[in-house]
Amino acid sequence: MRKDVLKEIERLKVMDIKINFAELGRKMNCDPRTAKKYYLGETIKDRKKVIKGSILTEYKSVIEDKLDNCSATATGIYEFIKSDLKYLRNHKFIFILT
């Protein structure tokens, strides 16, 4: 929600001035429909966060084992996992080992 547009609308309401939404949109650099929504008091619904699991979570122990015991490179681990995952052969993915 843009606080600057909302404050400007409140200021115009207090001054009892008829609001021209097109002019307000140009002045505040927003869409006139957005300014009208704020004037009418419509609020924006909060979006739900989608939590996606990583493909690599099941390979975390393998990655840690190869880093600690075998001192494998990231490319070597990537190739190992890529050969193990049949459905990722046509997809590219990059991961950072920390």
Question: CA nearest 81: which of 98, 69, 72, 51?
Answer: 72
**Residue 47 predicted with pLDDT over 80:** no
Summarize pLDDT for 7-23 with one digit per residue, the tens.
888 888 899 888 899 99
Average pLDDT, the chain: 79
Please state the pTM of the whole predicted model.
Answer: 0.43
Angstrom distances, CA of residue 10 to CA of 3, 31, 42, 48, 49: 10, 17, 14, 29, 31
- Where along the chain do its domains lie? 3-40, 55-88
Identify the top-confidence range among 21-25, 50-54, 69-73, 90-94: 21-25
Summarize pLDDT for 28-39 with one digit per residue, the tens.
899 999 888 888
Calpha distance 41→9 (Å, rounded): 11
Segment 88-96 shows an average pLDDT of 51
